[in-house]
Amino acid sequence: MAERRNLPKIVSIVKYHNDGRLTAPAAARNAKPIIQLVRKTVTKPGNALEIASGTGQHIVKLASALPFLNWQPSDVDITRLNSIKSWSNDQNLKNLRPPCILDATEEGWSKKHRDQDLILLVNLLHLISIKETKILIKEISKALAPKGLSIIYGPFMRNGKLISKGDMEFHYSLINADLNLGYKNDIDILNLFNEAGLVHLNTEQMPANNLAFISKKP
Ligand SMILES: C[S@@+](CC[C@H](N)C(=O)[O-])C[C@H]1O[C@@H](n2cnc3c(N)ncnc32)[C@H](O)[C@@H]1O
């Protein structure tokens, strides 16, 4: 199980609601571009696993916007899993499975999640170490079906550089909390895809300086 970390408050600005739902302003802001990206990337029916689903705001919108995919939400945190359940209860979406617990940094999780046609991960890599990132990408590769796609979205360095004042502040607030955290370098991510046997298809520039890496299992 991933070590529980004391992350700076900015990482997890969430509002708690009486019915167990959580809302995060960041998740509301980036939902639309993420849905557009998934829609243009994935065109065939299949199984989609979301790692680190968080509040559940994204997955209910994704399942509604892309009904040809069977969505499996997951997270490592029980409060988040309850929030995902509460968001799902409202919607009655036939293609949305109940959330499951998944520590994406634990070696071997792919054994329980084989044959995925899509694996989506939004905003986790800056919150884990490079060693854990390596495990995560290796497990994604093992969990994907042949020709399966992965989309990894978040804030990243470009060629070792932080590209704005806001990115520098966020990165150093993470490093101050734990030296192993912080933005990963785009080039390191491409190397990890290669090591894991994934083919990098494209890097999309997303709003607020984020990147989305799209890769494919041969
Ligand atoms: C910044 S939030 C992003 C949530 C969601 N993807 C979004 O963009 O709104 C990070 C999420 O990662 C989850 N998380 C942290 N460590 C994890 C791990 N080792 N495995 C799976 N999820 C993890 C947290 O519980 C939290 O829900």
Per-residue pLDDT of 175-212, as tens digits, reads 999 999 999 999 999 999 999 999 999 999 999 999 99
pLDDT tens string 33-68: 999 999 999 999 999 999 999 999 999 999 999 999
Cα-to-chain-centroid distance, residue 84: 14
Nearest alpha carbon, ligand 1 atom 10: 124
In a domain, 200, yes or no: yes
The whole-number pLDDT of residue 34 equals: 98
Which pLDDT tens digit goes with each residue over 143-185? Answer: 999 999 999 999 999 999 999 999 999 999 999 999 999 999 9
- Kindly report the number of other CB atoms within 10 A of residue 103's CB atom: 17
Overall domain count for the chain: 1
pLDDT at 92 (0 to 100): 86
Q: One-letter amino acid identity for 15? A: K
Residue 49, domain member (yes or no): yes
How many Cα atoms occupy the beta-carbon half-sphere of 4 within 13 Å? 3
Is there an atom of ligand 1 within 6 Å of 73 CB? no
Neighbour-count burial for 59-91, b at 16+ CB within 10 Å, e otherwise: bbbbbeebeebbbbbbbbeeebbbbbbbbbeee
Question: Would you say residue 144 lies in a domain?
Answer: yes
**Ligand 1 contact, 105 CB (< 6 A):** yes
**197 located within any domain:** yes
Q: Which whole-number Å values give the CA distances from 42 to 45, 47, 143, 146, in the listed order? A: 8, 11, 17, 14
10 pLDDT band, cuts 50/70/90, is low
174-199 in b/e burial notation, b at 16+ Cβ within 10 A?
beebbeebbbbebebbeebbeebebe
* 137, part of any domain: yes
Rounded to whole angstroms, the maximal C-alpha distance in the chain is 45
Confidence at residue 1, expressed as pLDDT on a 0 to 100 scale: 45
Provide the residue range defining the domain that includes 142: 45-216
CATH of the domain at 98: 3.40.50.150
Residue 25 lies in a domain: no
Q: How far apart are CA 2 and CA 169, in angstroms?
A: 25
| C-alpha 65 to ligand 1 mean position (Å) | 22
Q: What local confidence, expressed as pLDDT, does residue 6 receive?
A: 64
The answer to the question of residue 174 being in a domain is yes
135 lies in some domain: yes
- Select from 200, 197, 169 the least CA-distant residue to 183: 169
- What average pLDDT does the chain have? 94
